[in-house]
Amino acid sequence: NTGTTNNVVNNSTVYQAQRTDAELYQENEQVFIKAVQTFVADGHLDQRELAELAQLRVQYSVSEQRAIEIIEQLRNSAKALTGDQGNEFLTGQLLREIFNAIQCNAADVLRSKMNILERLARNSQNADVLYYYNLLLASFSPEVAVLNCMKSHSDNYWQLFWAHIAHIKLGNVDNATALLPLLGRFAYPQGDIALLMAIDNLAEYKRNKGQNYYRTQAEQYLQQALQNGLSEQLSPLW
């Protein structure tokens, strides 16, 4: 038995020696990830938890930059999950009110909903929330919509879409057109882009004192938007 035990120990030692640094780092990182998942389960991290994670990072030889990436990614995922679950009913009711108010052009009602909609949009991955928040921001505060988009370097489709509209409202047709290639990278219906191009041509029609070329282009793009199909959120507004 003693000989067998010695063989097991020796084999284990050899195995440990043969393992690469990359394998050890990967194992250590997985342990760190599990610890982070436990801490961010509620979507929040306090100072005590951050301090403990900093110690674990050193203990498991995880680089500072990699640790920051892991913590932010897992914290954002937890926030989205808990936020969507906790606010599901509220979100549904709020979106219904906003949709109805838009149909009635009730600007005063829509303005009153902006604060709560903004709070939901900060942590939500709900496409409807992001759509309506950025729609209303571009409508009521186009300067803020443009500034937010520039500051965020966002891959948020609806933020980019409504920033385009905000530029048009501010008379910045060229800046609006510059956003089209960014929007084209997303796997959304092509009709969305055609709709924006129609709006661009309407803006040019106004800026160029009614040249019929731009009006004809706008009409063609509107038909193309209908033919190619629009995102579900845009269909009621078309």
With a cut of 70, say whether residue 7 has pLDDT above it.
no
What local confidence, expressed as pLDDT, does residue 42 receive? 61
Using 50, 70 and 90 to split pLDDT, how confident is the model at 5? Answer: very low
What local confidence, expressed as pLDDT, does residue 82 receive? 54
- Token pair, residue 76, equals 């954002």
- Token pair, residue 4, equals 């067998």
pLDDT digits (tens, 9 = 90+) for 213-237: 999 999 999 999 999 999 988 887 7
What rounded mean pLDDT belongs to the chain?
A: 84
d(CA 180, CA 106): 30
H/E/C letters for each residue in 54-117? HHHHHHCCCCHHHHHHHHHHHHHHHHHHHHHHHCHHHHHHHHHHHHHHHHCCCHHHHHHCHHHH
SS3 173: helix
| Percentage above 70 pLDDT, the chain | 84
d(CA 79, CA 85): 10
What local confidence, expressed as pLDDT, does residue 9 receive? 45
d(CA 99, CA 94): 9
Mean pLDDT of the 1-8 span: 48
Enumerate residues 6+ apart whose C-beta is below 8 A from 176. Answer: 164, 165, 167, 168, 196, 200, 203
Mean pLDDT of the 71-78 span: 77
Helices (H), the chain: 2-18, 21-39, 47-59, 64-86, 88-103, 107-112, 114-123, 127-140, 142-152, 157-169, 173-178, 180-184, 190-207, 212-228
What local confidence, expressed as pLDDT, does residue 76 receive? 72
With a cut of 60, say whether residue 44 has pLDDT above it.
yes
Entry pTM: 0.62
* 192 and 205 Cβ atoms separated by less than 8 Å: no
More confidently predicted of 126 and 137 = 137
Mean pLDDT of the 145-173 span: 91
SS3 156: coil
Cα 38 to Cα 26, 42, 60, 68, 74, distances in angstroms: 19, 9, 16, 16, 10
